[in-house]
Chain A
């Protein structure tokens, strides 16, 4: 039989239709090494046929008849184009900022002019998000935590989302993973880079009130450090430091410190009481009132969240037992 040649365009169209996976030939770790290539293909074909024959798939296919598909794309294009048109129209007709309506800069100018003296932070952005509008940031740091909890629900291994086959896959992948990481360039470079990354992360974290930086960015750098460490030395090493219990407890401690510290400030501020938190001299490391401790709390949560995402995607767990 003559082999049919598939052009790149054809392959792209098939990928768009969901028939083939473009990455299929590039990635190898999805396949069980003990099954021959031919056998795996046959298994996949059988599996696909089983899916095709199920009632829900049939119903879906009948709903996506050709007419429906054409109409769907036409409607999608029209609505996107009209949304773009509306937004461009709005953009073109916006009143000129601060000129036609001078009171628009009222809030901003107070932040810029009095920010340093009122919050004690040289970095006005930090003063704004952690002091003037601290309530929003309190919510925002819990958004991150919520995302972590959702990913944990989805990816953490349990009896429901792990079948026996997948378990084997994970152990195989884990073994292979350590095999790779024993003698590699990654390990050497990691050993050199990881201390620098952590030092830089801590610098950015502690310097949030005086310059660009703060909890979110510093935490992200430190999270990258954890990821680098686990990628180059394997999870076993990192697990000695970060256990599951410890990570849960640290996230809990950081976030509840955040809630209660800010709750205290809100309470005293609204009731007209004095809050006994010194502002410090702007520019010093211990300045900006609560901004530094809050940055540290946020940084810890962000670092753990980032490492948690990586770890959950990689092996379905955070930290050792």
Chain B
């Protein structure tokens, strides 16, 4: 067996170990360790990606001496590897890009605990990406839930505590529903690993009564993960959660945590339920409608927000809606669009959440729009980074957002019925114009002089802020210009799924 096949195991076990290790370090050491460690993991995962591309197949890895239906298993294919790579790049950028704020937002005695939580979260993200077992997914989902509450409350101001309580209630509800779904699936199939479970489901659905039960079980599971990732009626925790957390946390929570739940959901649809089976379920139509509602209402709420972070957070709700819309359109092309949008949004939103506090820092520490006037001139770099990410959100050509919007359009034309196509195109047009309206309005505000008489001296940044931002910009441009290569990888990965 090739040695590279062990790397997914290393990413999980070493991250768990690092999480515990950081809690005994001092704050500064933990910070440097985390950054170096993320680089190391990125290298490991790149090797796995290269390996799966070279061999053209996925591989399963038995955890221990007991094979498939008895012991645990993880699995690595192109899609898992490329998603894990995305997660690690964004994690690295968030950790490094936000670390000046960490030392002001967090009490010094707790910085090591914070980085410990980040490492535990890395382990959970990796395990949920690689997992080939539904219950392993649940265990690491618990770690992800707890760590995301932890990195939220660590700022210790009243608002984050309030937001964390709300976030935790929603998340626990989601976890409980997900667990119920898993239990029901386990009861009817007798397996927890994805492959034997799917075989059993294939046998069971011949009976129409079982088909009904299966639909309900998958529906409960979908609602659970939908609540956790912010599907339409459940997105009202987003603005407080993302708006008040320390920038690193906000960026990780919006860009990675919700995406991880979405990826698990897609994996379950493909590997447990089977995509052909899922296409016939009414859940698909429900997701399409809820996704569209999310897009429209999220954009409208973003339009009304008076604070730049709230606006960005509500636009996250709209972007999650896009991903659900892609799942709702269905077919390989719909899923490709949805997964591509996971990439585009993760790269863009993390950049936005790392930029807005910089703009606030030169505007009397206020995130209100009226105070932000002219902040793009006071902090030139942050202004440019904001512009790049805003362009990507709007969908200007060359940037990631453009490619994903095109793909949603193409998916609607090719895969759906005429009615679906018309609806999707209308929603896309509406949301793009709303997006353009509120982001361009913000950009204009950033570059309007607040008092024309005074000469402003722009702020200079350290490399620790510029490097991750340039990395994310490069990733954004790569997704925008080289979308063909990424789409090819996603499609290969999806083929390996079925």
Contacts and interface: CB of A to CB of B under 8 A. Distances in A.
A64 interface: no
B13 A263 contact: yes
Interface string A206-220: 000000000000000
A136 B139 contact: yes
Nearest to B157: A160
B116 A270 contact: no
Nearest to A268: B65
A158 B110 contact: yes
A259 B70 contact: no
Contacts, number: 191
B142 interface: yes
Given A101-B204, A147-B146, A248-B24, A266 B63 contact: yes
B301 to A, nearest CB: 14
Specify the main secondary structure of chain A where it touches its partner.
Answer: helix
A101 B203 contact: yes
Interface in B156-174: 156, 161
B189 interface: yes
B63 A269 contact: yes
A295 interface: no
A273 to B, nearest CB: 10
A94 B187 contact: yes
Given A103-B190, A107-B190, A93 B209 contact: yes
Contact of B64 (A93, A135, A139): A135
Given A95-B210, A156-B110, A146 B69 contact: no
B120 A138 contact: no
B20 A156 contact: no
A135 B21 contact: no
B190 A266 contact: no
Interface string B1-34: 1000110010001001101110110000000000
Specify the main secondary structure of chain B where it touches its partner.
Answer: helix
A259 B191 contact: no
Contacts of A158: 107-110, 156
A80 to B, nearest CB: 12
Contacts of B127: 139
Contacts of B21: 252, 256
A133 B71 contact: yes
29 contacts: A94-B188, A94-B213, A95-B207, A95-B209, A95-B210, A101-B189, A101-B203, A101-B204, A103-B200, A104-B187, A107-B191, A132-B64, A134-B63, A146-B19, A149-B23, A149-B116, A150-B147, A152-B110, A153-B110, A153-B113, A154-B161, A251-B20, A252-B24, A255-B16, A259-B20, A262-B13, A266-B63, A267-B9, A271-B1
Interface of B: 1, 5-6, 9, 13, 16-17, 19-21, 23-24, 61-66, 69-72, 107-110, 113-114, 116-117, 120, 123, 127, 133, 135-136, 139-140, 142-143, 146-147, 149-150, 153-154, 156, 161, 180, 184, 187-191, 200, 203-204, 207, 209-210, 212-213, 216-217, 220
Given A133-B135, A146-B117, 19 more contacts: A93-B209, A95-B207, A101-B190, A104-B189, A108-B190, A132-B64, A134-B72, A136-B135, A145-B19, A149-B23, A153-B117, A153-B150, A256-B20, A260-B17, A265-B64, A265-B65, A266-B13, A266-B64, A267-B9
